[in-house]
Structure formats: C-alpha cells, structure tokens
Amino acid sequence: MSETSITIAPSEAAGPNSAAPLPGEEWVRPRPGRTGYRNDLLLALALAVATTISLVLFRVTGTYEDTPGWQSTLWVIGMTLPLAFRRRWPEAVAIVASLAFTVAFVFETGEMLFSQISLFVAIYSVGAWGRSRRVATVVRAIIVSGMLAWVFWQLIFYSAVQDYLPELPRDGALSPYLAYGLINIMTNLLYFGGAWFFGDAAYRSARARALLEQRTVELAEARERTQQQAVALERVRIARELHDVVAHHVSVMGVQAGAARRVLERDPAQASAALSLIEQNARSAVEELHLLLGALRSDQADTGTVPAHLSNSTRGVEQLADLVADAAAAGLPATLSIIGDARTLPGGVSLSVYRVAQEALTNTRKHGGGAATADVRVRYLPDAVELEVSDTGIGASGQQRTAAGSGLGQLGMRERVAAVGGTIELGPRPRGGYLVRARFPLPAVVSTSSTNGVSAVSTSSTNGVSAVSTSSTTGAPLIEPVEITTNESTENV
C-alpha cells in the first residue's frame, strides 16, 4: 500500500514535530491530515468487506462452519476496523490485530487470507508511524516473538499427534513433517520480517523527505537573506559612491563660486575662469551620478554608452594625479608622491585608494582652512600598498571635523578599506593638521632594486598653483604630467 506524503494537519502545523530534528534528537513523524485518516478508514472498511466475503467462502468449504455468526462478526470487526486508527495509535492497533488473529485459531473462527493482510498492515504501521522508535521496536518484538513461539509450539506439539496430518510421516532425519514445519517457519519469518523491514523503510523515507524539505526551506531562506544582503550592500555602495562624488565636486564648486564672487567686479576674467571650473565640475558630477544611478535601473533599461575614462570601474591609482590636479586647481596646494615600484593593483583596491584620497582631500578643503596644504603619498610595499593623505590645516581638529559634518565620509572610508581587508588610521597630527593613512594588503612580490625608489608629482608656485610635474630616474614617468596655470594667488582662487 502506498503511503500518503508527509502532510501536517492544520491543528498540528505549528507543533514541534513539523520541523527536522536537531543533531542528537529523535525525529518524530508528524501525523497525517484529514485525507490520510479518511484513507485509513476506507482501507479498514474495504478489508472488512473482503474479510467477510472470504469468511463466507471458507464456511462454504466447511472450514469453521460451526462457529456462531455473531462470533465471526465480532472477529471481523476486531480484525479489520481498528486499522482505521493505524496511523494515530499504531501500537495499540497492532496489539488488537495480533490478539484477533490468535483468536481465529484458538476459537476456530475467521479465515486465513485477508486476516493475514490485516495483520501485516498493522505491524507495518508500527514501524512506519510509531512516535517512539524504542516503543515501536519493543511492541513489534513482542508480537513477532509471540507469533513465532506459537508456531514452534504447534509444530512440536502436533509432531506427537499422529492423527494430525497423518499423510506426513514423522520418521527420518528429514521427515516430511519436519520439512512441512521448516516451510512454515520460513514463511512466518518472511512474513513478519517483511512487515518489520518495510515499516522501517517507510519511516526512514519519510524522515529523509522531511529533512530534504527542511533543507529546501532553509536554502530558500538563506537565498532570500543573501539577496536582501546583496541589495543592502549595493545600496550602501551606491550611497558611498554618491557621497564621494557629491562631496568632492560640490566642495570644489563651492570654493570656486566663493572665489568668483570675490573677484567678479575687479577681475571679470578670473571670475570667468572660476565659473568655467564650476561648470566643468558640475558636468563631471552629473556624468558620474549618471553612471551610479544606472545601477538602480532595470536590466532592460538602456543606460547608453559611457566613455571608458569616465567609468567608475576605471578610477583608481592611475587617476590620482588628476585628482591632485583638480584639488590644486580648486585652491588647495597639493603634492603627490609615489614611493616604491608601482604595479597593477586589484580593481577593488585601486578604486578604494582613489576614493579614500578623494574623501581626504575633500575634508581638507572643507575643514582645513584657507592656508591648508595637502600631501598625498602612495607607498608600494612588497605585500601591501599604503595611502597617506596629510594636511597642514589649522581649522577644526579631528573631533571637531567629525562633529561639524555628518561623519559619513570617515565611515565610508573605513568601510571601503575594511571591504578589501585593509586598515585605516584617521586623526589629527601632533604637529598640526590631519592625517589619513590606509594600508591595503596585496600578494607578496619579489622586490627589485632601483636607483631611485621615489618618483614624485608635486605642485609649486609662488602665487598658489602653477604646475604638476613628475620625476624619476627609473625610466618613464609613473604618472603623466598635468599642466595647470593660474594668474591669481591662492586666496583669490
């Protein structure tokens, strides 16, 4: 008979047995639903009808024909109808069925066909639906041992009764009666062993299905959590990128707007140059925001083609010279030094170096004061790359800088560095100013000798900003020179 799938009734859906067992705990098979109990009732009624028909046929053949009808009726009821509760109380049903089966021989009533099927189903149900494996084992052991002991006793007792099966002689080492007894023993072993085995197999199958369903649910929940985390991380990344882009460009535009306002009447040409720089930064900010917001659109949306040099994925250490030049053009005297042998960095590390430097320079412009200068240094070590951004600002101290702003900039720097396994230090310098030092681990490489391990990009001017240049004795410059010229002092630009 095919068992119904594991279905938890509404009243038992929240019970402790509906979940998979924890390690070291015994799994308890949940009860079937109403459909399962209805199927058990139909099975019991079908076996009762079939047993009744078989009983009538046996009585017609002369077997147990003298048994009163009411006794046979009670036996049919006791042998079959308890199977309607075989999955609710399997142990009790098996005991009742075993006693009814024994009564059929002791009181010479019943039949020998469907009653054996009923007993098989009862013993099978103990193994398949028992709530406790220990109780199920004990109950089945008692029933099977009792039945086998009864078979042995009958064979031994009737071996001395010559009138019982007189056609089977008892003489010889392997007499016909002994062969008959061995056949009975093997038949009963197969019968009870099959009921025991298939019951345990059904229980193991149900447990495997429950574990599989539980793992499927856990995997679905884990997948949903992973998707939610991915969305949250992507939102954090986009928010961080937006903060970096907006803070950098807006701070530059603010400085230039102030300079243009101060020189508008006495030097319209210089004011026009400042306004041109504002326009340039505004366009650059819009293009970068366009790239970032494109990540929020659907996959079917057409985001257009973006120049490679403007893509966020290409921003990294190679663009630090442009970043320093932009800071210098915005009125912040800055230098860039490359220390060590430059090499290709992983994309995530390179972008993090660029963004940390960008945020540090932005903070210097916002909090360092008008006379502040900045120094950006990149050190290539055998197993890491370090970024150091220091300034000589005389404005707000470290704690005041954090209090003056939202603190999201420093938080973003920490998260960026931590995301690639690095460390970062932020705080005021003992001799004045502010220092941001980040270290990003890299795969170790074999160091090479160099006549000069330092190549520098510096800015120098008597009136503020005039040029950014590179120098190195190792060969080609690491960063292309960028020419920037101004006519006014730092205080006016």
Q: Which residues contact 160 (CB under 8 A, 6 or more apart)?
A: none
- Asked whether residue 240 carries a pLDDT value surpassing 80, the answer given is no
Across residues 220-240, what is the average pLDDT?
A: 81
Residues 110 and 114: their CA atoms lie apart, in Å, by 10
Question: How confident is the model over 192-229, as pLDDT tens digits?
Answer: 999 999 999 999 999 999 999 999 999 999 999 988 88
Q: Given pLDDT bands bounded at 50, 70 and 90, which one contains residue 188? A: very high
Determine the distance from the C-alpha atom of residue 48 to the mean position of all C-alpha atoms in its chain, rounded to a whole number: 52
Q: Given pLDDT bands bounded at 50, 70 and 90, which one contains residue 430? A: confident
Across residues 464-476, what is the average pLDDT?
A: 37
- Asked whether residue 316 carries a pLDDT value surpassing 90, the answer given is no
- Residue 314's pLDDT is 60
DSSP assignment of 13-49: TTSGGGSPPPTTSPP-PPPP-HHHHHHHHHHHHHHHH
- Asked whether residue 403 carries a pLDDT value surpassing 80, the answer given is no
CA atoms within 13 A on the CB side of 397: 4
Q: Does 406 or 107 have the greater pLDDT score?
A: 107
Q: Say if CB 104 and CB 118 are below 8 A apart.
A: no
Q: Given pLDDT bands bounded at 50, 70 and 90, which one contains residue 408? A: low
- Asked whether residue 427 carries a pLDDT value surpassing 80, the answer given is yes
Across residues 131-154, what is the average pLDDT?
A: 93
Across residues 438-455, what is the average pLDDT?
A: 61
38: left (phi over 0), alpha (psi -120 to 50) or beta: alpha
Sign, CA dihedral 107-111-112-116, equals negative
- Residue 75's pLDDT is 94
Across residues 327-338, what is the average pLDDT?
A: 88
Report strand pairing: 423-428 vs 334-339.
unpaired
Q: Given pLDDT bands bounded at 50, 70 and 90, which one contains residue 296? A: low
Residues 230 and 130: their CA atoms lie apart, in Å, by 45
- Asked whether residue 183 carries a pLDDT value surpassing 50, the answer given is yes
Residues 437 and 324: their CA atoms lie apart, in Å, by 17
Question: How confident is the model over 72-104, as pLDDT tens digits?
Answer: 999 999 999 999 999 999 999 999 999 999 998
Q: Say if CB 389 and CB 374 are below 8 A apart.
A: yes
- Residue 253's pLDDT is 76
- Residue 4's pLDDT is 35
Q: Does 140 or 350 have the greater pLDDT score?
A: 140
Report strand pairing: 374-380 vs 454-459.
unpaired
Across residues 121-136, what is the average pLDDT?
A: 94
Q: Given pLDDT bands bounded at 50, 70 and 90, which one contains residue 262? A: confident
Report strand pairing: 374-380 vs 334-339.
parallel
- Asked whether residue 140 carries a pLDDT value surpassing 90, the answer given is yes
- Residue 220's pLDDT is 93
Which segment of 107-111, 194-198, 360-364, 453-457 scores lowest on mean pLDDT? 453-457
- Asked whether residue 267 carries a pLDDT value surpassing 90, the answer given is no
H helical segments located in 319-407: 320-329, 347-367, 398-404
Q: Given pLDDT bands bounded at 50, 70 and 90, which one contains residue 478? A: very low
Return the number of other C-beta atoms located less than 10 Å from residue 105's C-beta: 12
Across residues 297-321, what is the average pLDDT?
A: 56
Dihedral in degrees, nearest 10, Cα atoms 99, 102, 104, 105? -160
Highest mean pLDDT out of 83-92, 164-173, 244-253, 294-303: 83-92
Across residues 344-350, what is the average pLDDT?
A: 85
Domains of the chain, CATH where assigned? 10-224 (no CATH), 313-493 (3.30.565.10)
